[in-house]
Chain A
Amino acid sequence: MQGTEHSDFDIRDYLRTDLFPHFMCPGCGHGIALRALLWALHELDISMNNLALVSGIGCSGRTAAYVDTNTMHVTHGRPLAFATGLKLARPDLEVVVITGDGDCLAIGGNHLIHACRRNLDMTCVMLNNEVYGMTGGQVSPTTSNDRFTTTTPLGNHEPVFDACELATAAGASLVGREITLQTPSLKDLFKTALSHRGFSFVEVISDCTEIYGRKNDLGNSTEMILKQKSGIRPESYGNAVEHPFRPGDWKTGILTRVERPEYGDSYRQHIATKQRAVKTVTK
């Protein structure tokens, strides 16, 4: 038995308890995802002084503000850009980006692909609730087909973005997806992502009860959370059965894991070589 099992993990040790109760709606899955993230940090024994949480705008962005650590609450869609700068300036920090589906894929889509391409050692947590919750419930790139939002009153007709496929294609070295209902699995995925050297991208399937669930008649928060389980296709099941699930199901688990040079290291190495070359020339 390890010394850091769950029973000695009290999430309140990691929170700015004076700000509580938090602003999120009753039954919002973002809280569960935040618990899993802090639980993973606790089990990995990462000090809050060595952690930097960077978040954008939106419900997901607000979660970082409740953690008692170094936090940056930056412009909409740009947490990855700020985090890239932070990590290059302070490679000693453990940088974690908390972002949402609209923040990361629509407004910050450009930053996401370039962060994946560079493969800088940080963790990007994308809380996917299929909607822009805080700004009033507009359609997001991950909104499922035929769902109603304030900007799609006749149902969404756009194809759905698969964020994990995008991150894999753009070059992220660790990509995973998990639902909030399976909190211990989500914690384990976060642990893998945090320990991975390189850019890790974790998509958390969360729920938006008040804005999205109510408009689409998806039931209360419990029903929405329990339903997550029927919409996934865990990677660990393998290909034992050829077509075990519906084609539209989300794959969960660790989806991509490749070894690629980490950008921070190679960048510093490159600069050092160049500076040496310049010095020898000037001598």
Chain B
Amino acid sequence: MNSPLQSTVVAERRHSAPGESTAATNVLVVGVGGQGVIMISKVIALLCQQHRLQVKQSEVHGMAKRGGVVFSHVRFGEQVYSPTIPAGEADVVLALEWAEGLRWLKYLNPETGTFIVDTQQIVPPFACRNRKPGGLPGYDQLTVDQIRTRLPGILALDASGAATELGNPKAANTVLLGALSTALEFPAEGWQELIAGAVPARTVEINRQAFNMGREWALHPPTEAPRLDKSPPPASVQTLERSVHLEITDAWCKGCDICVKTCPERCLVLNAHQVVEITDPGACTGCRMCEWLCPDFAIRLHSSIPEPE
């Protein structure tokens, strides 16, 4: 039976649960709904069961339809008590999305942990809350190189790009599984067998290639700017210098409240005379919603740059 790669280090861990003879190996799989987080953890769990190890797994799922956060804790060893991994004790954090990986990085064991991450970026809608032209999105701006200074052993690969080249972007999780297989010392054949059973029959071949590609890359990381080690592109947008100014004709406003209620930035109010007023001119993005929907033509928006057609 193969023992886990870092079992010696794991045994020295101070926070192991009382009564645990051999401390568990912790794998945290994170990503965005629909990427195959559950499939990865299922394969790991089945593999451990084949090797007669005890496995506990707990997950948050069901976010696939919403592109929401999905994570899965997998703990295995001779004896496992708790199904969840405490912060700072994950031996492997496997992230299927760049910012999700960074978000869960605090779970990684800072000394011995392995961080395997796909560099693809899926920018969630809430990262675009700043609707002003030139506003910075709320997406994490850290690059692979910045993380590498903290975690020299980071395995950052463009798994999605590689899987797309193989012909199916959905196989990105298998590419990462291939990389993960080098961190957990189970034989490669066992992985292959289980993956073939977990994926649809028509994608078995593509998943086999994806697994081999990921494994090959992790075992022999290319030295110079390889295709799989791509820094995520900066998520910032071009900054536009634009000033907007709302001109309100007080005498025409009848206080119908339409602009106040429909303003996406909520920067309009009705004052004591039931006339609309702008509370925060800096918040106005110049979307023209108030101008369009004012039935009394009391609002005119002046913008320093013309609208794009």
Interface size class of A (residues with CB under 8 A): 20 to 34
Q: State how many angstroms separate the Cβ of A202 from the closest Cβ of chain B.
A: 17
**What 0/1 readout, one digit per residue, does chain B (267-303) give for beta carbons within 8 Å of chain A?**
0000000000000000000001000111111101001
> Hey, which bits of chain A sit against chain B, CB under 8 A?
1-2, 5-8, 10-12, 15, 20-22, 24-32, 35, 180-181, 183-184, 209, 220-222, 225-226
Contact B251 A222 (CB under 8 A): no
Interface size class of B (residues with CB under 8 A): 20 to 34
Bound Cα distance A26, B253 (Å)? 8
Q: List 13 A-B contacts (CB under 8 A).
A: A6-B288, A12-B297, A20-B297, A21-B298, A24-B296, A27-B254, A27-B257, A29-B295, A30-B295, A32-B295, A183-B293, A209-B256, A225-B293
Check if B125 is an interface residue, CB within 8 A of chain A: no
Chain B residues with CB below 8 A from A15, complex form: 297
Check if B255 is an interface residue, CB within 8 A of chain A: yes
Q: State how many angstroms separate the Cβ of B263 from the closest Cβ of chain A.
A: 11
Chain A residues with CB below 8 A from B288, complex form: 6
Contact B306 A1 (CB under 8 A): yes
Check if B258 is an interface residue, CB within 8 A of chain A: yes
Bound Cα distance A209, B294 (Å)? 14
Per a CB cutoff under 8 Å, which of A11, A21, A226 touches B251? A21
* B interface SS class: loop
Nearest chain B residue, comparing its CB with the CB of A25 = B254
Contact A35 B255 (CB under 8 A): no
Per a CB cutoff under 8 Å, which of B251, B292, B296, B309 touches A183? B292
Contact B251 A31 (CB under 8 A): no
For the A-B complex with A1-B306, A32-B292 known, give 14 more contacts whose Cβ atoms are closer than 8 Å: A1-B309, A12-B300, A21-B253, A21-B298, A25-B254, A27-B258, A183-B292, A183-B293, A209-B256, A221-B257, A221-B258, A222-B257, A222-B261, A222-B262
Interface residues of B in 115-151 (CB under 8 A from A): none
Contact A21 B258 (CB under 8 A): no
Contact B256 A221 (CB under 8 A): yes
Q: State how many angstroms separate the Cβ of B205 from the closest Cβ of chain A.
A: 33
